[in-house]
Structure 1
Amino acid sequence: MSTGALPYYLEDRSGSYAGSDFDDIYDRLFLRVALMIYNVGRRSSNQRDYRPLQREPSVALEFGPSGTLDRSLSWARLRSHCLEGESLIRKFRASNGEEYKWTYKTESDHQWSCTDSANYVVAHYNLKPPNKPAFRTSGNMLTINETHASLAIELLASLTIMRHVAAYHL
């Protein structure tokens, strides 16, 4: 991470890729995934908030039968890094024109890592291990480099798709 920049630490309240709130611990960004990603503009409570949202989603994710992915999200097309079988290394081109790559467990302390074309880690995600205690927090965290905060919704959407790919062995 760059010197002096404060990353966005987004606590994943539930740890479920199909539905959770992501709240920055410094109250700068609040996102909700409900197979759609919303910029909710406020911190969620410790309790899940099931009230209907009064705004349009920033991204709609659609998964088909047997967990297949809807290919209509042109910017979120995650290209597999291998020619055959499943791959937990996939690239996508973000709205800033740059190419990014999500990888699973290639960094020793990150479950998921997203790197840019120079192999610089711009975001990473970790689920709390089941045997590790968490006190007043979920222990699940998406960290986004401050210089890439404008891509937060794209990073979260692509991470959600990658977690779906891993869950369904696509």
Structure 2
Amino acid sequence: MINKALPYYLEDRSGSYAGSDFDDIYDRLFLRVSRPPGSATDGPPNALMIYNVGRRSSNQRDYRPLQREPSVALEFGPSGTLGQISFMGTSVSMPMNQYLKKVSLFGGSLIRKFRASNGEEYKWTYKTESEHQWSCTDSGNYVVAHYNLKPPNKPAFRTSGNMLTINETHASLAIGELLASLTIMRHVAAYHL
């Protein structure tokens, strides 16, 4: 029997922010980040879509076609600049710089905050926690999510070694807000925005 109080451990299959599957190791959640069908796969993405594709058995992994609408659309500007974030199913659409704001005017771009649909403010930071590459904290500085890429010299056995962990009390934010904001943060880091 699965303990629903466990954090969501989402294995990032490819480690690429511009296209990957995120499987909960307990098969409770399956997410996908991908470029729109027919778009170029090299260079900075023009857009990324985030899908909640439900559970998927391991024998169907990587073969299931996307036959649903995305939960979130991320549209980027020329040369990878930040563009627009749109939450599908709602009328919420705004510039990424307005959604995911720098913490201070002169602060680095790898520390940004956003206000989630639950009214709370959250902050992503890069390499501030010793054991996490990316950390998301709430207003009380409690870590609600963190992400790590597998170090290149560390072996991985039957797994990618890349992991997004989300506290179970914040699972409702997993699709639209935590994964979307992390994807934007990783894009900012990749293109030094």
- Both structures adopt the same fold (TM-score exceeding 0.5): yes
Question: Any idea what the Cα deviations from partners look like across 1:70-129, whole Å, max 9, x if unmatched?
Answer: 134439611012324742000001111110000000000000000000000000000000
SS at the partner of 2:84?
coil
Residue pair 1:11, 1:142 contacting (<8 A) in 2 also: yes
1:58 — aligned with what?
Answer: 71
2:25 — aligned with what?
Answer: 25
1:36 — aligned with what?
Answer: 49
Tell me the distance in 2 between the aligned counterparts of 1:147 and 1:75: 28
Q: 1:149 to 1:85 in 2, by over 3 A?
A: closer
Task: Between the two structures, name the one with larger relative contact order (CA 8 Å, sep ≥ 6).
Answer: 1
Query: Percent of pairs identical after alignment?
Result: 89
Tell me the distance in 2 between the aligned counterparts of 1:160 and 1:166: 10
Bigger drift between 13-22 and 40-49 goes to 40-49
Residue pair 1:15, 1:140 contacting (<8 A) in 2 also: yes
Residue pair 2:32, 2:53 contacting (<8 A) in 1 also: yes
Tell me the distance in 2 between the aligned counterparts of 1:159 and 1:144: 12
1:133 aligns with 2:155: yes
1:97 — aligned with what?
Answer: 119
Equivalent residue pairs, number: 167
Which structure 1 residue ranges, 5 or more long, are not aligned?
none
Tell me the distance in 2 between the aligned counterparts of 1:67 and 1:83: 22
| TM score, norm. by length of structure 2 | 0.80
* CA-based RMSD: 2.0
1:10 — aligned with what?
Answer: 10
1:144 aligns with 2:157: no
AA matched with 1:29: L
1:87 aligns with 2:109: yes
AA matched with 1:63: F
SS at the partner of 2:136?
strand
AA matched with 2:5: A
Tell me the distance in 2 between the aligned counterparts of 1:46 and 1:123: 28
| TM score, norm. by length of structure 1 | 0.91
AA matched with 2:192: H
Which of 156, 159, 170 aligns to 2:182? It is 159
Deviation at 1:48, TM superposition (A): 6.2
Residue pair 2:135, 2:146 contacting (<8 A) in 1 also: yes
Q: 1:104 to 1:47 in 2, by over 3 A?
A: farther
SS at the partner of 1:28?
coil
Deviation at 1:63, TM superposition (A): 1.3
